[in-house]
């Protein structure tokens, strides 16, 4: 959500930003917002003038009431007439003031709804492109290897260890759910525990947030289109299941003023995540790449505006470091303008190498939200001189099993069907250095 001052002072910048995101259908919103802002400010100014005039008339009547007590005859009638005239003017001002206050609320609500639809100003470094097909590879880390044996589909690898039950989950909850079993379930938890400790060792504070949140928080952290495509609502209550812990973690700061000297706040959170996954991608019936429920370790930063780009660079590099510590080749992919959600200033994906597909696939998404979430939620910073200004917020996936499991299993699979456990994970797997095939039960 941008500052309305941008539309007042530089509407062409806002229009150009909309064009860069290939959302020309939103161009009329700039003029609509400008007109509503003008009407709202006009109503506010008139209301303030009426309040001042009412106070002036009320003060003028004070001495007249004193004179009225002492006056007689024609003089008394004249004073009473003047009082009545002032009272009538006050009544007229009160009626108009009530109208204006109603208009102010109406204009402000309409303006807010429009401002929610106008995209955040993207960073100048963001490549211009229409959609994710025009995202830009920045750098590769690790050598992508294709072994000289065939790599099965990821669920077949899991099934070879008796490690997944999709049919049972489908009977219980439908497509998009799964049971993890035995060593695969343990590996899943090992990845999460390792990711948690990795971030704690980077100085982040570990947290477990609420797994539901109110509607006003949802509107504060994401766009309406993302909300409709992702969120599950609890029937009959103002509660939504979280699609990522970043949302409830940022929601923790709603209407909060943060002392500048305590910044940055660096947090890492665990949660289950629930997503409708509406749209073109849909749910995989056979695999576990895109599903309705999964678990994730997230990293979140709340900081001063001048520090946010430095944190952005640190955060995506943490993802690279973590995946490389598990012997998984990755690359950084810069998201182009048309692939950025409306609240995002800059974003990149970290993609892991898939030896089976012979290509990379997304496993992490790092985003600088600028002041978009802070403006919506009222997250402010107070400096030592008492000045109040908006915070910047950032988020990034640490790991999101089972996508991480797909990358880990494929990149550590041996020709005999066993899977090597990377050294960093072995303490979380009871010292095991590999997984052997086993039967399902």
Q: Of all residues in the chain, what percent are helix, strand and coil, respectively (each to 5)?
A: 50, 20, 30
Q: Which residue has the tokens 């099993």?
A: 401
CA-to-CA dists, residue 168 to 21, 174, 283, 341, angstroms: 43, 9, 17, 36
Q: Tell me the pLDDT tens digit for each residue of 60-77.
A: 556 656 666 666 667 666
CA of residue 419 relative to chain centroid, distance: 36
Which neighbouring-strand residues pair with 257?
380
Residues 298/397, Cβ–Cβ less than 8 Å: yes
Phi, psi of 419 (to 5 degrees): -125, 125
The full set of domain ranges for the chain reads 4-117, 132-435
From the list 409, 404, 403, the residue with the least C-alpha distance to 160 is 409
Q: How many CA atoms lie within 13 A of 39 on its CB side?
A: 18
Range 132-435 classified under CATH 3.30.930.10: yes
Q: Tell me the pLDDT tens digit for each residue of 129-153.
A: 999 999 999 999 999 999 999 999 9
Phi, psi of 409 (to 5 degrees): -65, -45
Structure tokens at 392: 């910047």
Q: How far apart are CA 375 and CA 362, in angstroms?
A: 29
Q: How far apart are CA 122 and CA 128, in angstroms?
A: 10
Return the pLDDT at 439.
67
Which neighbouring-strand residues pair with 265?
302
Residues contacting residue 234 through CB under 8 Å, at least 6 positions apart: 212, 240, 241
Where does the pLDDT of residue 226 fall: very low under 50, low under 70, confident under 90, or very high at 90 and above? confident
Peptide bond into 264 cis (omega under 30): yes
Mean pLDDT, the chain, integer: 91
Q: Tell me the pLDDT tens digit for each residue of 352-380.
A: 999 999 999 999 999 999 999 999 999 99
Q: How far apart are CA 414 and CA 145, in angstroms?
A: 13
Higher local confidence (pLDDT), 397 or 47 = 397
Structure tokens at 166: 């999709």
Where does the pLDDT of residue 227 fall: very low under 50, low under 70, confident under 90, or very high at 90 and above? confident
Return the pLDDT at 48.
85
Q: Tell me the pLDDT tens digit for each residue of 68-122.
A: 666 666 766 666 666 666 566 666 667 878 888 899 999 999 999 999 999 999 9
Residue 279 pLDDT more than 60?
Answer: no
Q: What is the DSSP string of 106-163?
A: HHHHHHHHHHHHSPPPPPTTSPP-SSGGG-EEEEEES-----SSPPPPHHHHHHHTT-
Return the pLDDT at 223.
80
Tell me the angle at which helices 27-70 and 73-117 cross, rounded to the nearest 10 degrees: 160
Q: What is the DSSP string of 193-236?
A: HHHHHHHHHTTPEEE---SEE-HHHHHHHS-HHHHHHHPEEPTT
Higher local confidence (pLDDT), 270 or 229 = 270
Residues 331/351, Cβ–Cβ less than 8 Å: yes
Q: How far apart are CA 145 and CA 352, in angstroms?
A: 12
Residues counted in the chain: 441
CA-to-CA dists, residue 437 to 13, 183, 353, angstroms: 59, 10, 23
Residues contacting residue 106 through CB under 8 Å, at least 6 positions apart: none
Q: How far apart are CA 158 and CA 382, in angstroms?
A: 51
**Domain 4-117 - what CATH class?**
mainly alpha
Residues 319/396, Cβ–Cβ less than 8 Å: yes
Which neighbouring-strand residues pair with 395?
300, 367
Q: Tell me the pLDDT tens digit for each residue of 33-48.
A: 999 999 999 999 988 8
From the list 162, 163, 216, 155, the residue with the least C-alpha distance to 189 is 163
């Amino acid at each position: 959500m941008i500052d309305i001052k941008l539309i007042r002072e530089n509407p062409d910048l806002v229009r150009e930003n909309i064009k860069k995101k290939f959302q020309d259908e939103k161009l009329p919103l700039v003029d609509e917002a400008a007109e509503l802002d003008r009407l709202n400010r006009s109503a506010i100014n008139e209301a303030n003038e009426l309040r001042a005039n009412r106070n002036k008339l009320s003060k003028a009547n004070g001495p007249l009431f004193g004179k009225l007590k002492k006056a007689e005859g024609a003089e008394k009638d004249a004073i009473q007439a003047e009082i009545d005239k002032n009272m009538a003017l006050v009544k007229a001002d009160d009626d108009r003031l009530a109208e204006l206050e109603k208009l102010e609320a109406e204009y402000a609500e309409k303006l807010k709804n429009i401002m929610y639809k106008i995209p955040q100003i993207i960073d100048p470094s963001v490549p211009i492109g229409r959609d994710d097909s025009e995202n830009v590879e920045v750098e590769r880390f690790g050598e992508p290897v294709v072994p000289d044996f065939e790599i099965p589909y990821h669920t077949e690898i899991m099934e070879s260890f008796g490690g997944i039950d999709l049919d049972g989950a489908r009977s219980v909850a439908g497509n998009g759910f799964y049971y993890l079993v035995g060593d695969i379930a343990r590996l899943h938890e090992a990845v999460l525990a390792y990711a948690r400790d990795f971030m704690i060792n980077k100085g982040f504070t570990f947290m477990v947030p609420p797994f539901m949140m109110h509607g006003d928080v949802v509107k504060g952290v994401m766009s309406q289109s993302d909300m409709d495509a992702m969120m599950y609502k609890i029937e009959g209550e103002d509660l939504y299941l979280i699609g990522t812990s970043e949302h409830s973690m940022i929601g923790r700061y709603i209407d909060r003023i943060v002392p500048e000297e305590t910044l940055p706040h660096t947090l890492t959170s665990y949660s289950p995540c629930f997503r409708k996954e509406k749209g073109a991608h849909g749910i995989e019936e056979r695999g576990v790449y895109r599903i309705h429920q999964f678990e994730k370790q997230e990293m979140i930063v709340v900081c001063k505006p001048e520090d946010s780009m430095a944190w952005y660079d640190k955060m995506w590099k943490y993802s690279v470091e973590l995946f490389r510590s598990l012997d998984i080749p990755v690359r950084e992919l810069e998201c182009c303008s048309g692939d950025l959600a409306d609240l995002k200033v800059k974003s990149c994906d970290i993609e892991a190498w898939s030896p089976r597909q012979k290509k990379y696939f997304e496993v992490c998404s790092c985003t600088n939200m600028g002041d978009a979430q802070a403006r919506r939620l009222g997250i402010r910073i107070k400096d030592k001189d008492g000045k109040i200004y908006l915070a910047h917020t950032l988020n990034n996936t640490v790991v999101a099993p089972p996508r991480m499991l797909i990358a880990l299993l494929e990149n550590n699979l041996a020709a005999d069907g066993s899977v090597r456990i990377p050294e960093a994970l072995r303490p979380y797997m009871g010292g095991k250095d590999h997984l052997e095939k086993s039967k399902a039960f």
